[in-house]
């Protein structure tokens, strides 16, 4: 998306783009690397829920800047948008002499929610920075920059509707778009989960005896053969117990298990954990069904529902359809 300057208009062009969230469908932890990172097998599904990032190029030699609205808790300092541009400047030979970039970020993806909000902003920042500078990056160099920024960034740089993700996040095996949209109901508690703490707790617990890797790979096989949204919703029961980080999350934050129990009884369907939490996910055969289900969650009805944020969204594939409000 571009708001170009009109003819004779001296104001610089604004480039803007969405930064979509993801959910994990299955997450198996298969090993630990010497640097402490964990190898995973997971399906990442891109969502319509998205932040929006805009950029205007200034003059060479100035400082890159970032303005954020939509979430007062989202910090500018250390933000992955600025770190992404810094890393890109370092990777490009003449990076330091390229124009300063002024970014505006509108946050909609909850922080600490397991939906990779920071990582997707970073990937979109890389794309917009290259656009604003009129540059292309060599794919290998771009993936190195992406991996250096965070484990989830390569998925968003690759820009697939879904992928089987392996390694610590750099193995991206694209999956086709779903044939019809799946409805995704997101329930985000007021507290986030810190990913490093969840992985540390995972390391302290006994290794899971789960079949999460098999369940995730077998879903990827069926996905490649063609899946509709309704087919994916049917997988909810198998996916519920296919996130190896669940036990660590429940040990660190007992409120998560109580919230899941309340949601499963209110919604009458299995509730999944995305990533290291804290967002809980229910899948529906259509976006309309997810929106209808959202109305069944009444925050005042149970103390466990206090402060939650409920979002009905869908997979982000069918660009020809109107996105949900």
Q: To the nearest whole angstrom, how small is the minimum distance from the Cβ of residue 153 to ligand C5P?
A: 8
Interaction between residue 19 and ligand C5P (CB under 6 A): no
Count other Cβ atoms within 10 Å, centred on residue 306: 12
What three-state secondary structure class fits 15?
A: strand
Residue 58 has phi, psi (to 5 degrees) of -110, -135
Among residues 17, 48, 64, 152, the one annotated as catalytic is: 152
Nearer to ligand C5P among residue 203 and residue 214 (C-beta): 203
Q: Which of 6, 8, 10, 196 binds ligand C5P (CB under 6 A)?
A: 196
Residue 304, preceding bond cis, omega within 30 degrees? no
Let me know: does 103 contact 67? Beta carbons within 8 Å.
yes
Q: To the nearest whole angstrom, how small is the minimum distance from the Cβ of residue 21 to ligand C5P?
A: 14
Interaction between residue 143 and ligand C5P (CB under 6 A): no
Among residues 17, 22, 121, 315, the one annotated as catalytic is: 22
Helices 139-149 and 117-133 pack at an angle, to 10 degrees, of 140
Q: Note if 107 is an active site residue.
A: no
Interaction between residue 166 and ligand C5P (CB under 6 A): no
Q: Which of 24, 180, 195, 243 binds ligand C5P (CB under 6 A)?
A: 195
Q: To the nearest whole angstrom, how small is the minimum distance from the Cβ of residue 197 to ligand C5P?
A: 8
Q: Note if 241 is an active site residue.
A: no
Among candidates 263, 272, 261, which has minimal Cα distance to 232? 272
Let me know: does 164 contact 129? Beta carbons within 8 Å.
no
Q: Which of 145, 151, 201, 281 binds ligand C5P (CB under 6 A)?
A: 151
Nearer to ligand C5P among residue 133 and residue 202 (C-beta): 202
Taking phi over 0 as left and psi of -120 to 50 as alpha, with beta for the rest, 226 belongs to: left
Strands (E), 98-170: 99-106, 162-167
Interaction between residue 150 and ligand C5P (CB under 6 A): yes
Interaction between residue 17 and ligand C5P (CB under 6 A): no
Interaction between residue 37 and ligand C5P (CB under 6 A): yes
d(CA 199, CA 217) in angstroms, rounded, equals: 22
Site for ligand C5P in 241-270 (CB under 6 A): none
d(CA 10, CA 101) in angstroms, rounded, equals: 17
Interaction between residue 311 and ligand C5P (CB under 6 A): no
Residues labelled as active-site residues: 22, 152
> Which residues contact ligand C5P by CB under 6 A?
37-38, 40, 150-152, 168-169, 195-196, 199
């Amino acid at each position: 998306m571009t708001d170009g300057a009109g003819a004779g208009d001296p104001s610089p062009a604004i480039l803007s783009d969405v930064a979509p969230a993801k959910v994990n469908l299955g997450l198996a932890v298969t090993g630990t690397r010497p640097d402490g990172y964990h190898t995973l097998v997971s399906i990442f599904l891109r969502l319509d829920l998205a932040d929006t990032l805009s950029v205007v190029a200034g003059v060479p030699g100035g400082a890159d800047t970032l303005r954020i609205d939509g979430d007062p808790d989202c910090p500018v300092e250390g933000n992955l948008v600025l770190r992404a541009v810094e890393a890109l400047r370092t990777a490009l030979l003449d990076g330091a002499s390229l124009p300063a970039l002024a970014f505006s970020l509108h946050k909609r993806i909850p922080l600490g929610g397991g939906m990779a909000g920071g990582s997707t902003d970073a990937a979109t920042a890389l794309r917009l920075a290259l656009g604003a500078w009129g540059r292309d990056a060599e794919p290998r160099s771009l993936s190195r920059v992406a991996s250096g920024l965070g484990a989830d960034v390569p998925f968003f740089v690759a820009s697939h509707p879904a992928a089987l993700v392996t390694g610590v996040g750099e193995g991206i095996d694209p999956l086709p778009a779903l044939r019809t949209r799946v409805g995704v109901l997101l329930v985000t508690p007021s507290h986030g989960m810190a990913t490093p703490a969840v992985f540390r707790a995972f390391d302290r617990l006994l290794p899971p005896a789960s079949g999460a890797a098999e369940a995730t790979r077998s879903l990827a096989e069926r996905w490649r053969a063609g899946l509709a949204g309704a087919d994916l919703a049917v997988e909810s029961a198998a996916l519920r117990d296919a996130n190896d980080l669940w036990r660590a999350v429940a040990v660190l934050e007992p409120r998560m298990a109580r919230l899941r129990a309340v949601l499963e009884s209110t919604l009458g369907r299995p509730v999944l954990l995305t990533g290291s939490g804290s967002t809980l996910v229910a899948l529906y055969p259509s976006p309309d069904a997810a929106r209808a289900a959202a109305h069944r969650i009444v925050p005042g009805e149970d103390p466990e529902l206090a402060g939650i944020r409920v979002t009905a969204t869908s997979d982000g594939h069918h660009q020809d359809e109107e996105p949900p409000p």
